[in-house]
Amino acid sequence: MSRKFRMGQSRDAQELDAPDAYAREGRAQSKRRQRSAERLGTENEAHDADAMLLLPDPGPWLHLPEATLVWRHSQIVDLELDDGTPVRASLAGKLKGVKLVVGDRLRYSAVPLEPLDPGLAQSQEGAQVVAVMPRRTLLKRGGIDDREPWQLICANADELWVCAAVVDPPLRPGLLERAQTLALAAGMGFRIIVTKRDRASVKDTLPELDPLRGQGLPILETSAAKGQGLGPLLELIRGRRVVLVGHSGVGKSTLINALVPELNQRTGAMSRYGTGRQTTTGARWLPVPGGGTFIDTPGIRNLSVRGLPRTLLPLVFPEFAEEWIEDPMALDPEDEALGLDYPERLQSLQRLWLEMEERNPNQNVHR
């Protein structure tokens, strides 16, 4: 008889964390994005995973004022000065194909230094962004194909907080492991925020999180409805830029409203299919009174680790021996001889190991 999984989940249930569990990009959507990429062609080699992250030299523009990107509307950007003053600006021609994200530090001129795009003349503002400063951190996930090797989430954030609901939607440890991998790759701090804690019995210790507790990862249990755990979060956010990620419906916007009511984020109930309703359509820069900033992101289905180095795996799965991580596919999670306390952890290691092996055609080495 095969050993039962401690988490009470079948092998198939864990596959919800795999990319193939969700619908692939439709043909029409693929063609539209490809045409958009062609219009925004730059000097960088097309679809080169490394060149995509390169930024133009900001050296000639260091004498100009600096601001933070808080929103991008095609070729128009909203900036925020260090004193909180908002500025709307256009992009210089050499930046129109650069992947800019919320949190980028930009150099701008109060008057245009390059000719304005005639097609945007009616919406152009006087200020013009001419340079992007080097990124201290860059949170990104693997792209869905070689045309978009990386999906950039935000820049210059200090910590990644992954939100996981007790129920509606159910807690999936596989997503937490993926988020931890992305945080390590970006050089960011990492925390797990459990939401909707009031929806489960106090006797429920959430055993799904035991392997992560064993690593000493910071886990905070919260309830926006009861006000549980909100005080410590407000202390943690002070002086930091924190990006929130999680499935649709886990309560990211509700949590932000409970912490900072004046932000008044739009929220949504669960759909009749048991999935969350997406109320955040793009990464949003949300300053917190008293210091600190939330970067709220749209609900995600999956966090791809495609293209990330396998050298991160020992940090995510420290309980496994080095030879296991080098070739986890040779092991069977249901083999009782291995003496695994959490067989599903080996399954997660195998999925991430295989996904990291995938590479783009322009990458000349496996990562």
In a domain, 202, yes or no: yes
Cα dihedral 177, 182, 187, 188, rounded to 10, equals: -70
The Cα 284–Cα 11 span in angstroms is 36
Indicate whether 185 and 273 sit together in one domain: yes
Indicate whether 196 and 257 sit together in one domain: yes
Residue 274 has pLDDT above 70, yes or no: no
Indicate whether 336 and 282 sit together in one domain: no
Contact 175, 124 (CB under 8 A): no
- In this structure, of 18-32, 102-116, 346-360, the range with the lowest mean pLDDT score is 18-32
Rounded (5°) CA angle 227-282-86: 90
Q: What is the pLDDT of residues 300-336, one digit of tens each?
A: 888 999 999 999 999 999 999 999 999 999 999 999 9
Phi, psi of 261 (to 5 degrees): -55, -30
251: left (phi over 0), alpha (psi -120 to 50) or beta: left
pLDDT given for residue 26 in this prediction: 60
In a domain, 8, yes or no: no
In a domain, 114, yes or no: yes
Rounded to two decimals, what is the model's pTM?
A: 0.81
In a domain, 7, yes or no: no
User: How is residue 254 written in tokens?
Assistant: 């509700």
DSSP 315: H
pLDDT given for residue 141 in this prediction: 94
Of 87, 115, 132, which closes a domain? 132
Contact 97, 42 (CB under 8 A): yes
Contact 25, 32 (CB under 8 A): no
Direct distance between the N- and C-terminal alpha carbons of the chain, in angstroms, rounded to an integer = 38
Indicate whether 48 and 95 sit together in one domain: yes
Q: Please, which residues have CB within 8 angstroms of residue 7's CB and are 6 or more apart in sequence?
A: 173, 207, 208, 342, 344
Looking at residue 53, which CATH number applies to its domain?
2.40.50.140
pLDDT given for residue 148 in this prediction: 79
Contact 169, 17 (CB under 8 A): no
Residue 96 has pLDDT above 70, yes or no: yes
The Cα 331–Cα 194 span in angstroms is 32
**Number of domains composing the chain:** 3
The Cα 181–Cα 184 span in angstroms is 5
Q: What is the pLDDT of residues 66-83, one digit of tens each?
A: 999 999 888 899 999 999
In a domain, 19, yes or no: no
In a domain, 144, yes or no: no
Three-state DSSP state, 343: helix
Residue 205 has pLDDT above 80, yes or no: yes
In a domain, 166, yes or no: yes
Indicate whether 214 and 325 sit together in one domain: no
Residue 217 has pLDDT above 60, yes or no: yes
Q: What is the pLDDT of residues 245-264, one digit of tens each?
A: 999 889 998 999 999 988 77
| Owner of token pair 């008057």 | 111
Alpha helices in 208-279 (DSSP H): 210-214, 230-237, 252-259
User: Which residue type, as a one-letter code, is found at position 25?
Assistant: E
Give me the residues paired with residue 154 across strands.
139
Please give the residue that has the higher pLDDT: either 101 or 278.
101
Indicate whether 52 and 181 sit together in one domain: no
Contact 356, 308 (CB under 8 A): yes
Indicate whether 171 and 128 sit together in one domain: no
- Domain interval for residue 249: 157-296
In a domain, 87, yes or no: yes
Residue % of the chain over a pLDDT of 90: 61
pLDDT given for residue 286 in this prediction: 93
Please give the residue that has the higher pLDDT: either 318 or 31.
318
Mean pLDDT computed over 53-67: 94
Residue 13 has pLDDT above 50, yes or no: no
Task: Share the mean pLDDT of the chain.
Answer: 83
